[in-house]
A and B are shown apart, each in its own frame.
Chain A
Amino acid sequence: MLPYMTAGLPTPSHSVELFTAMANAGADGFEVGIPYADPLMDGPTIQAAGDRALEAGSGVRVGLDILEEVVSTAGKPSVVMTYVNPILRMGIDDFADRVATAGGSAVIIADLPVDEAEVFTAAFNRRGIGLVLFIAPTTTEERLERVVGANPPFIYCIADLGVTGQRATASDHIEELVARVRQKTDTPIVAGVGISSPEQANVAARVADGVIVGSALVREVLDASDAAGAAAALYSAVAAYAAAVRRTSTN
């Protein structure tokens, strides 16, 4: 069970507390989100979270500092989730250096398809970091083969069409999609996008190796009145997701 959380919520100085609470509740690892003002792949919840974190002084540098603290205090494998422009602005090599020194294990870039990935993969791999690539319900067989051929550390299966956010019903794409990827590779698969209830996480966990839950958790933080309240709400939410995911784990 892999929670996504925007780095810098509710404030940069209280951000690590939230990750610690989620680790205590049974999270297996983290997706640490770099706040971005124009997140094309994100729905209203993560947009609002990014705006709030940026206002509170977060950004790519603060976000990577938070990553470092999360890795050292929670001791869970953590990946960075970002958009491409903050990396380019920092410089791909400088960014990769910083992720490596912070202890991040991989990077997910929402607006970077395999077609543009080569230079990023090369810079990351030189430092022992992986670049995660996506498969969507729309991905063709030819593209799937290119993604597999690029040798990502894991493949992010986009469980549902559309941007991140909560959905009333579970995706009916995920089983078929994961099965398609399994035919081509043994690379681990995580499922994300639109998974917003323990029941939906349960469905995804039956087929995927990991389940990412983002907007539903971020919503808890946005609705909380202070950091302690946010940590408490996250603890119970993540515990419920983690239980649902373990209940269905067969491996």
Chain B
Amino acid sequence: MRLERPDTRGRFAGFGGQFAPETLMPALEELESEFAKAWADPEFHAELDALLRDYVGRPTPVYRAARLSDQFGLELYLKREDLAHTGAHKINNTMGQALLTQRMGKSRVIAETGAGQHGVATATACALLGQECVVYMGEKDIERQALNVHRMRMLGTEVRAVTSGAGTLKDAVSAAMRDWVASVADTHYIIGSVVGPHPFPWIVRELQKVIGEELQSQMSGKEPNRPRPDMVVACVGGGSNAMGIFYPYVGSDVELVGVEAAGYGLETGQHGASLVAGSPGVIHGSMTYLLQDDQGQILEAHSISAGLDYPGVGPEHAYFKEAGLVRYESITDDEAVAAVHLLAATEGIIPALESAHGLAWIAKEAGNLQGKVVVLNLSGRGDKDVEQITGPDE
């Protein structure tokens, strides 16, 4: 069963909640009530919808990938979030939260970023609304996603390198939360996925569900006889693009598949597949599935894709998994890279490494999907990954 809102304790069945330092709790309470008010306010929606239409470029198209459909023996559609302004779905969330920041009378924004897509989307919204912005990014990610670092700086954002841990997304989230503990009076934390303490998973889901809602009306134009696809596939790191496209379909007869990062392979322990291979616990303020050792220490994840290189996942996904509402699978680094090349060569689209995990799973599973209508959330474009995949001097 789909839950419209988490319960009064911020839980989706057992998952979610607020495992946050007391210093932040009043801000989380304020955020919940301010968002609830804004979300019920037609003026807020009018302002956000106008920005999404005229500035972000929504609705994003749904494209039938004809050559790949023939190759796979199914009807493959791509929901083109890569065509949204800044090149990924992340902007749906940052526009909404930046407007909310304005409503709350806060002047400074902080964010974390892994692949840099959420950082760029936050920097963009802040430039547009004249807000001061600081983005925390792991030093390893700064290296492998250099293009996005340049973009953020050009947009007037300060990018702060995080050197703790493995220097990836987990460490960037922790650093942003530590900043917020000190700065909460004048600062809003625009978290980048459906993770963190309540109300963040709920807010980000509400702001991202536009993807699935658009898809519902677009598919009836594409496939008048089969307006509901047989299957919707999306990659899952923290899980915001998957949540956005799945949510309107949860509990229907549409099969939903979330694809996590298997990294070097699940058997190596070097992966980011918290739902497929992790266990329940608390990470970054939320009860969810995560990668941890037998002493409750959170493990470093591994994925070639910085956006999926995270040892936790949004708590509502943990709920979906346990309730059997969504199926979760995983794809290795090598399979994802092959899928980037495949989509580039057959459809002329270079996808983000993150999104390529979803395509790789469809390619692998195609034999079991003959004749089906399958939609992939193409959550981001791959310009940022080209250098990493091909090497610097090609």
Chain A interface residues toward B at CB < 8 A:
36-38, 40-44, 47, 51, 54, 59-61, 83-90, 110-116, 133-140, 143, 158, 161-163
Contacts and interface: CB of A to CB of B under 8 A. Distances in A.
Contact of A115 (B25, B174, B292): B25
Contacts, number: 122
B164 A138 contact: no
Interface string B1-27: 000000001000000011111111111
A138 B184 contact: yes
20 contacts: A38-B284, A40-B285, A51-B164, A61-B295, A85-B282, A85-B298, A87-B296, A89-B281, A89-B295, A110-B21, A111-B19, A111-B285, A113-B21, A133-B22, A136-B23, A138-B24, A139-B22, A143-B22, A143-B25, A163-B178
Among A54, A110, A163, max chain B CB count under 10 A is at A163
Contacts of A139: 22, 25-26
Size class of the contact patch on chain B: 35 or more
Contacts of B285: 40, 111
Nearest to B294: A89
Contacts of B24: 138
Contacts of A42: 178
Interface string B119-153: 00000000000000000000000000000000000
B295 A60 contact: yes
Nearest to B17: A116
A67 to B, nearest CB: 15
5 interchain residue pairs of minimum CB distance? A89-B296, A162-B182, A86-B296, A134-B22, A59-B295
B25 A40 contact: no
B371 interface: no
B185 interface: yes
B256 interface: no
Contacts of A116: 9, 17-19
B177 interface: yes
A85 B185 contact: no
A113 B296 CA distance: 19
Among B23, B185, B284, B298, max chain A CB count under 10 A is at B23
B165 interface: yes
A60 B165 CA distance: 19
Interface in B282-334: 282-285, 292, 294-298
Given A60-B296, A86-B297, A138-B184, A38 B174 contact: yes
Among B18, B22, B24, B280, max chain A CB count under 10 A is at B22
B205 interface: no
Nearest to A82: B296
Nearest to B170: A38
Contact of B164 (A47, A111, A140): A47
Contacts of A110: 21
B373 interface: no
A59 B296 CA distance: 9
Given A42-B178, A138-B26, 7 more contacts: A38-B298, A40-B285, A54-B297, A85-B297, A86-B297, A113-B21, A134-B23
B65 interface: no
Contacts of B282: 83-85, 88, 111
A137 B21 CA distance: 12
